[in-house]
Amino acid sequence: MRSVNVQDAVIGSLFTLLGVAVLYFSSGLKAMPGMVVGPGFFPQVTGAGLALFGAVLVTLSLWGRQDEAEDGTLTTTQPSEKPSLANRLFSPVLLLSILVLIVVMPILGFLVTTTLFSILVVLIGGGGLLRALIFSPVLTFATHALFVYGLRVPLPVGIWG
């Protein structure tokens, strides 16, 4: 017998609906003459990603997970341990740090805030300090190069660049 993970189905449905709404509303944003990428491009990519991954989450939650027992019967596996405090705090801390990033980026600039944000994400995700210090500048400069040189989209400079 299959079991349905109701929480995942609800969250996946919400993400799918949000993604479709973002796609719908961002489709009306038109590019200015001479702009390679219009203002609706990134919201459309984000909306499509939300809708796609939300639909995948709904599908996986409805599909259920089954394992075959030794006697040949199918059983649904459940996690045996409760998540740790660090695992339970990951999402709220990540959401709070994204909100801080949005507020602080115009002041400090893209390079500084993205580096600090990616260090924090690696650290709260369980990566070590060395990994964070290696990964963060690489991610920051690759993203900067993609936006500024590849897509010709200006990024916030801030007081420190």
Q: Which 3-state string (H, E, C) describes 1-19?
A: CCCCCHHHHHHHHHHHHHH
Q: Answer yes or no: do 123 and 148 share one domain.
A: yes
- Residue 78 or 35, more confident: 35
Q: Is residue 76 part of a domain?
A: no
> What does the pLDDT read at residue 3?
66
Q: Is residue 30 part of a domain?
A: yes
| pLDDT 10s digits, 92-130 | 887 888 888 888 888 998 899 999 999 988 888 888 899
pLDDT-derived band at 2, boundaries 50, 70, 90: low
Q: How many domains does the chain have?
A: 2
Q: Answer yes or no: do 156 and 94 share one domain.
A: yes
Packing angle of the helix pair 110-124, 129-145 (nearest 10 deg): 140
In this prediction the pTM is 0.53
Provide, rounded to the nearest whole percent, the portion of the chain with pLDDT above 70. 80
Return the closest-CA partner of residue 97 out of 86, 111, 85, 113.
113
Range of the domain at 55: 1-66
> What does the pLDDT read at residue 140?
92
Q: Answer yes or no: do 51 and 87 share one domain.
A: no
Which residues share a beta bridge with 66? 76
Q: Where are the alpha helices (DSSP H) in 27-128?
A: 41-63, 85-108, 110-124
Q: How far apart are CA 36 and CA 34, in angstroms?
A: 6
Which residue type does 107 have?
Answer: I
Q: Answer yes or no: do 92 and 157 share one domain.
A: yes
Q: Answer yes or no: do 101 and 37 share one domain.
A: no
| pLDDT 10s digits, 76-89 | 555 556 766 667 77
Q: In this structure, what is the dihedral angle of CA atoms 102, 148, 146, 151, given to the nearest 10 degrees?
A: 100
Q: Answer yes or no: do 100 and 40 share one domain.
A: no
Q: Answer yes or no: do 47 and 1 share one domain.
A: yes
Q: How many CB atoms lie within 10 A of CB 84?
A: 9
50 near 19, Cβ under 8 Å?
yes
Q: Answer yes or no: do 44 and 88 share one domain.
A: no
Q: How many CB atoms lie within 10 A of CB 50?
A: 20
> What does the pLDDT read at residue 77?
53
